[in-house]
Amino acid sequence: MSALTSNIPIVDHDELIHSHPVPTLLIDKGGVVLFVNAAAEQMCNVSRSAMIGRVVYDVIDMDRSYRQRMSDAATSALFAHRAEISVGGRKAIFVDMQMVPYGHSGHRILALIPAQSDAELMGGAIGRSGRAAGGAASMLAHEIKNPLAGIKGAAQLLARKTDASGERFTTLICAEVDRIATLIDQMEHFSRGQPIACGPINLYQPIHQAMETARARQFPGVRFAEDFDPSLPLVQGNHDAMVQILLNLVTNGCEALGGRDDGVVRLATAYRHGLSIDNGDGRGRIALPIEVSVSDNGPGVPADIRGDLFDPFVTTKREGRGLGLALVAKLARDMGGTVQHMRDGEWTRFRVHLPVAQKGRAA
């Protein structure tokens, strides 16, 4: 044994798990409780001895679909956002429920993490954010629309005199002007709570448009990387809203890199099983399996503003107005989805989760 390892104390793992602040249970392949830590005892308001040996859903009241999956030995993993449970005879609470396999005997570890509210998930105080951002947008709408019309007219005149390579950029200018004009119309309704029109969309069309616009800005030292799942189904969303979400996130990532020569902005798509949310609209829990993430290897968001990151007028940019991420959160919510921020090692990630397109409707 080296001098370094000899100074490391032996850890009592049982005591460590008992002391862990996250309510944690160990259940067997049939859902019978084998172990409960102190945090789970406190959350359930039931003693450890009264819980061990009982089926988990006899102790914790939960939705039937979760009960079925926990009693099914073939289900080793589960993740549910804002699952509603009732424990110890108290009123219902919401938790992020995570179940993962443990060992080789079919045992599972079940963690019950007190869930953030939907408003906190999407950046906090969405209603207040929407009203403030909408008020600011309404004041600017008239002043922005007039020069936009002039820009589009100039681009159309240039298109008549340019070659095929230049026409690509004039077409992009016109498309962006139209999209921004539509966005301004949407933002004028921002504070009124009027939903945007959603339908089945191919996610890669707004991704392509956002990336074309970002590349045209020629951010120095930034390399774009892509990791796409080509088998994704159609998404229930809005094309222009998705372009705006992605363009805001990609632009923020490029600007966060500050011109460094090794900067990378990475776009990825994936199908994630298990994530769902209750938007409070009476439809119950809605699955959000489609994930679009925008990541950068910049310095990250300062710790003191992470909790308010999606609020209007919160920004780290000297010339910023702090409306971009508030709008991202609002647009994601209007499409029935969510957006999350996280720091993962050297990467800052923004992950947008969206529902699959409704069946029986044409694309």
Are 297 and 221 contacting, i.e. CB atoms less than 8 angstroms apart?
Answer: no
Give the span between the Cα atoms of 288 and 337, in whole angstroms. Answer: 7
The CATH 3.30.450.20 portion of the chain extends over 3-115
CATH entry 3.30.450.20 includes domain 3-115:
yes
Among residues 332, 326, 343, the alpha carbon closest in space to that of 125 is found at: 326
Match 């805001």 to its residue by tokens: 248
Confidence of residue 281 (pLDDT cuts 50, 70, 90): low
Name the burial class of residue 40, with classes exposed (0-12), middle (13-18) and buried (19+) by CB atoms within 10 angstroms of its CB: buried
Give the span between the Cα atoms of 192 and 129, in whole angstroms. Answer: 12
Evaluate if residue 245 carries a pLDDT over 90.
yes
Mean local confidence (pLDDT), 349-358: 92
What is the token pair recorded at 173? 């200018």
Q: Report CA Rg, the chain.
A: 24
Match 């019978």 to its residue by tokens: 32
* pLDDT at res. 68: 82
Are 248 and 324 contacting, i.e. CB atoms less than 8 angstroms apart?
Answer: yes
Where are any strands of DSSP class E within the chain?
24-27, 33-36, 60-61, 78-87, 93-102, 107-114, 199-201, 222-227, 235-237, 263-271, 276-278, 285-287, 290-296, 338-344, 347-354
- Percent of the chain past pLDDT 90, that is, above it, reads 19
Evaluate if residue 11 carries a pLDDT over 60.
no
CA 222 to chain centre: 24
Evaluate if residue 87 carries a pLDDT over 80.
no
The CATH 3.30.565.10 portion of the chain extends over 121-354
Mean local confidence (pLDDT), 87-112: 81
The DSSP element (H or E) to which 279 belongs, if any, is none
Evaluate if residue 294 carries a pLDDT over 90.
yes
Evaluate if residue 138 carries a pLDDT over 80.
no
Evaluate if residue 204 carries a pLDDT over 60.
yes
Confidence of residue 186 (pLDDT cuts 50, 70, 90): low
Whether the pTM exceeds 0.75: the reply is no
Are 242 and 206 contacting, i.e. CB atoms less than 8 angstroms apart?
Answer: yes
CA 355 to chain centre: 12
Evaluate if residue 116 carries a pLDDT over 70.
no
pLDDT tens readout for residues 151-172? 888 888 888 887 877 888 888 8
Greatest Cα-to-Cα distance within the chain, rounded to the nearest angstrom? 82
Identity at 234, one-letter amino acid code? L
Are 188 and 134 contacting, i.e. CB atoms less than 8 angstroms apart?
Answer: yes
Among residues 289, 230, 292, 296, the alpha carbon closest in space to that of 257 is found at: 296
At the second CATH level, the architecture of 121-354 is: 2-Layer Sandwich (3.30)
Q: How high is the mean pLDDT of the chain?
A: 78
Q: Residue 202, Cβ neighbours under 10 Å: how many?
A: 15
Name the burial class of residue 217, with classes exposed (0-12), middle (13-18) and buried (19+) by CB atoms within 10 angstroms of its CB: exposed
pLDDT tens readout for residues 302-318? 776 666 677 655 555 54
Confidence of residue 123 (pLDDT cuts 50, 70, 90): very low
